[in-house]
Structure 1
């Protein structure tokens, strides 16, 4: 009898669209042996110091609203794909980690708005039996300035949702996030710099991971929590491993080799480790046949050589 394959979260970050989804949109997810999808209903904030979050509005795309999220999750689950529900904020093109209110009254208004947003989707996560609920994404300054609020929020979430919890900490934030002991996974958006080279070789990237891996492993042991890469991935662009978080449009020199080697190195470095539960590649669009491709310098692996690398690795777990 063949030994059982180790179980990992082989995830895709499934991007919302203006449409419903059906089997033609889900087949490509199944075909790469993904077993999880991250569904991301966005809330929109006017600026980093604005205290109101707009969400679940009719002018948003269908997949970003509550009814669309429900339809996406139901359709994916019907094909055996498990779900992480990951509501996250968008702040007019500015990094969400910079959100910071100007006074106590504004903080309290913002916290009330965030609680309404998160608890609505926590209730939906319970309704649809989502496997993981992510309580926030890359909210570094918000957490630094208001740690007590986050402890209260987690308590309130647990009254509503009974599944596994995580938070998507940015790669340079996770080590000071104060509430990991209240969650099930240490969630990291894994945009760690691994190489300054224009086209790094596989071994360059694996070498670049060594110091990060040791630190992440030690952190996992310290908190006795498994590591989940709530996002990971690289652009198909020159210098893909230098500052992997960058999405600048002026970075447009397509480089598939750089994307291949950075992705392969991450998978080789982490997927075999017992303390690592898996991750969600950034990002995956519903219309597979029109996504990515030979002229695309952005993150998606779709219709690029990296898609085959992902499929090969996901097939092992």
Structure 2
């Protein structure tokens, strides 16, 4: 009987040891300034163990092939030097890092629609994107970042130039030796062709889960079921964990209907909907073995001046949903 109990205990210990720590992440917004302990302490207080550091490149329009990046016209946090400084400060608090370079198209047009009109421009875009992403692959290696995200919501680019992306991934691997992912949009990830070459299936998880003005936790959980089945099946197919490279909800009415909606003309304010939708997401995913964790969108460096009772944007800072985030992050 004693041996039997010891075997059971050993199985439990082995099972626990086999479960990797969840990625309890924040999408740490690039700012004009350097950061210090006053900016990193709130990251620790909310229970995060990861941050996504997001340097930016800029494109003039959806058909423009050249990406401007790491220039003196950008905010400090959007540059290589700024990203490195952020990483170094967060490391002092034992925060792990995902380097997540992103593209901004002028006037905020959706990056998934980037598409060149001729072969010459496609070649120019490929060369420009390679310079951009390899710059930050080098930074990720230099700073020993745990994860590098090789792109964010670039469906047309990926669809039209699959050979380029396969070649790019090989080049990245000669520079950066950590784990790789790609941030596919919620309606894109099923078609992303190179998951087998990466370590995580990355999804920006803005899935519609409820049409209600103030969705309940139960309604949101029910709304997740059809999406969750597809997500898990892809994880099973590729034998890769799923990482929510972005997730989150605005504190507004109908927050679960089109969670990607960033229209600043929307004025409604609804903290209950944001809180319920976020809790439902945690309850549905955070205990799943095939789910690696995620990065909430988004977290600003100046904590005391972010979010709050009049803010209907995505950030959880100084809102009721922050307590939900803290509870799940500190217990998972």
TM-score (norm 2): 0.94
Question: SS of 1:19's equivalent?
Answer: coil
Q: CA deviation at 1:250?
A: 1.8
Match of 1:34 in 2: 48
Q: Please state if 1:59 is matched with 2:73.
A: yes
Q: Provide the C-alpha distance between the structure 2 equivalents of 1:27 and 1:70, rounded to a whole number of angstroms.
A: 18
Q: Please state if 1:183 is matched with 2:193.
A: no
Q: Provide the C-alpha distance between the structure 2 equivalents of 1:37 and 1:200, rounded to a whole number of angstroms.
A: 28
Q: Please state if 1:243 is matched with 2:258.
A: yes
Q: Please state if 1:79 is matched with 2:93.
A: yes
Which residue of 30, 39, 54 corresponds with 1:25? 39
Match of 1:272 in 2: 287
Q: Provide the C-alpha distance between the structure 2 equivalents of 1:216 and 1:247, rounded to a whole number of angstroms.
A: 24
Q: Specify the structure having the higher radius of gyration (Cα).
A: 2
> Structure 2: any 5+ residue segments left out of the alignment?
1-8
Superposed, 1:47-126 pairs within 5 Å as 47-92=61-106, 93-126=108-141
Q: CA deviation at 1:137?
A: 0.0
Q: CA deviation at 1:264?
A: 0.3
Question: SS of 1:315's equivalent?
Answer: helix
Deviations 1:234-255 (A, max 9, x none): 0000000000001001222110
Which residue of 308, 317, 325 corresponds with 1:293? 308
Q: CA deviation at 1:103?
A: 0.4
Corresponding residue pairs, total: 317
Q: CA deviation at 1:74?
A: 0.6
Question: SS of 2:213's equivalent?
Answer: coil
Q: Provide the C-alpha distance between the structure 2 equivalents of 1:307 and 1:292, rounded to a whole number of angstroms.
A: 10
Structure 1 consecutive aligned stretches of length 4 or more whose deviation exceeds 4 Å: 1-6
Match of 1:313 in 2: 328
Superposed, 1:108-147 pairs within 5 Å as 108-147=123-162
Q: Please state if 1:216 is matched with 2:201.
A: no
Q: Provide the C-alpha distance between the structure 2 equivalents of 1:282 and 1:315, rounded to a whole number of angstroms.
A: 18
Deviations 1:58-92 (A, max 9, x none): 01011011111110001101110000000010001
> Structure 1: any 5+ residue segments left out of the alignment?
none
Q: Please state if 1:192 is matched with 2:207.
A: yes
Moved more, 292-301 or 3-12: 3-12
Match of 1:172 in 2: 187
Match of 2:3 in 1: none
Q: Provide the C-alpha distance between the structure 2 equivalents of 1:228 and 1:251, rounded to a whole number of angstroms.
A: 29
Q: Provide the C-alpha distance between the structure 2 equivalents of 1:261 and 1:148, rounded to a whole number of angstroms.
A: 42
Question: SS of 1:102's equivalent?
Answer: coil
Question: SS of 2:298's equivalent?
Answer: strand
Across the aligned residues of Structure 1 and Structure 2, the Cα RMSD in angstroms comes to: 1.3
Question: SS of 1:97's equivalent?
Answer: helix
Deviations 1:17-39 (A, max 9, x none): 11110111011110011000000
Q: Provide the C-alpha distance between the structure 1 equivalents of 2:243 and 2:192, rounded to a whole number of angstroms.
A: 15
Q: Provide the C-alpha distance between the structure 1 equivalents of 2:269 and 2:93, rounded to a whole number of angstroms.
A: 34
Q: Provide the C-alpha distance between the structure 1 equivalents of 2:189 and 2:267, rounded to a whole number of angstroms.
A: 30
Q: CA deviation at 1:156?
A: 0.3
Question: SS of 2:331's equivalent?
Answer: coil
Q: Provide the C-alpha distance between the structure 1 equivalents of 2:276 and 2:230, rounded to a whole number of angstroms.
A: 22
